[in-house]
Amino acid sequence: MGKSFQINQTWKNRREASRFEEKGSFAYIKRGSYDKPEPTFIGSPHFILAFGFSALSPHERGKPLKAMAAKILESKPELAHLEARSVGKPVYDFFDGDYAAVHFNYFGEAGYAQGHTSLNTPGFLNMSLRQPFGVVGIIIQWNTPLVFFSKKVAPAVAAGNTVVLKSSEKAPLTSWKVAQWIAECGFPLGVINVLPGHGHISGSAMSLRTSVPALSFTGRTRIGRAIQIASAQSNLKKVVFELSKKGPALVFEDADLDEAVKGTEHSIYWNSGQTSMANSRVYVPDKVQYETVLRYIDIGKESGRVVLSAEENATVKKEEQNIIVHPVIFVDQPEHSRIMKEEIFGPGVVINTFKTEEEVISKANDTEFGLYAALYTKDLERALRVGKKLESGMIGVNCASPTGSWDLPFGGWKGSGTGRESLLESMDHFLEQKSIYIKVPGIRG
């Protein structure tokens, strides 16, 4: 694969991630060690100034973003195969290229940060400004890397920042490929820099670096906590997190059961359950549990082998077990059990029962996470009442994750994150605010 990371549009090697290794059909970063404990290039003057990039007009900053969108669309087949090698995602299921192109295109035209003015103080013309931080750190997850690359890099750059992005050591290939197009698309030297590597080395250095004033991260809650601690120990950098989940789906007795089964099945099986939004806890009324479980089993039989217990996964032959986990359905699990509290990040769903609306709301909220909840009912009043009480950043009514809207805030409550991302929200995270008070005695009265 050649050189391993791209800084100031120059490809370099390092011992910590000097080669993309392959195991079978999959590619990953070989683990090693840094020549130095901290990468001194992060936050260097090249990145902070990027040769006046932030001084360009939004239109000029947007030109290379739109060129990147066109390049990604042109290269979708290649990117799909690289993602398949890294993540195992089927090529036919590759939506990521279109998603990335939309974000690069949109932010190629949306970089017009707005402040406001005020005459409310007599004798003063006051104004607020929105200005880029300078260097923005970005750490992305492995399950849909091109999606995370685009939804974080595009708004950060549109706002006038320079970016150091650490890709996942488990899925480096699409980030590596996109990095090869940075100069071709017309980005000035040092604006986008791609750094593959392991979190405890590369990510830790970025989190502690005082010249990185803002950092956006998608991944596990425990890593988010570590980044926040590092931020507190260094420069109190602004952090934006999309973190873990244990999303509930509430199926009420008046729900369209076929739609509920179809929606929740897709939620936990989409991307093999390896998504932060998956609704992995399903609550059904006592009287419909048996029918619900049977419908899940029928769906599983249509799509492949059905495994109803963790023990059966252990019987899969050893060479197959290394990369394949068959779907698992758990029932009647204690609410305090680990299977109900911890993120599986795979095709495992729990189906528990409830008797009353108040009981199921309490059960759904009894978690440290709060990213995406779903509820199924034909009663609009109930939908609004329950939706208001659920402690989640996103609620699906008669639909489940990954259903969403690109122009509405994406993010979680509690341990599922801080801040919100969307076409309309994301750029705000990469802009600092400043108030200017101008004394003009002649405008008094």
Among 34-48, 158-172, 415-429, the minimum mean pLDDT is found in 34-48
What DSSP character marks residue 253? T
Is pLDDT of 35 > 50?
no
Task: Please check whether residue 190 is in contact with residue 50, taking contact to mean a CB–CB distance below 8 angstroms.
Answer: yes
Q: Are 240 and 215 in contact (CB under 8 A)?
A: yes
Q: How confident is the model at residue 317 (pLDDT cuts 50, 70, 90)?
A: low
Give the separation between CA 135 and CA 42, rounded to whole angstroms: 9
Burial class (CB in 10 A: 0-12, 13-18, 19+), 92: exposed
Is the predicted pLDDT of residue 26 greater than 50, yes or no? Answer: no
CATH of domain 248-397: 3.40.309.10
Q: Pick 17 or 334 by higher pLDDT.
A: 334
CA distance 130 to 196: 31
Mean predicted lDDT score pLDDT of the chain: 84
Contact 201, 174 (CB under 8 A): no
User: Regarding the domain with residue range 5-243+412-434, which homologous superfamily does it belong to in the CATH classification?
Assistant: Aldehyde Dehydrogenase; Chain A, domain 1 (3.40.605.10)
Q: How confident is the model at residue 77 (pLDDT cuts 50, 70, 90)?
A: very high
d(CA 86, CA 84) in angstroms, rounded, equals 6
pLDDT at 120 over 80: yes
CB-based contacts of 326: which residues, under 8 Å, 6+ apart?
A: 304, 305, 306, 307, 312, 313, 316, 347
In the chain, domain spans: 5-243+412-434, 248-397
Can you tell me the distance from the alpha carbon of 277 to that of 243, in angstroms, rounded to the nearest whole number? 10
208-258 pLDDT, tens digit per residue, is 998 899 999 998 888 999 999 999 999 999 999 998 788 999 999 999 988
Cβ contact 222:229 at 8 Å: no
Looking at per-residue pLDDT, the higher value among 282 and 11 belongs to: 282
Residue 361 to residue 75: CA distance in whole angstroms: 46
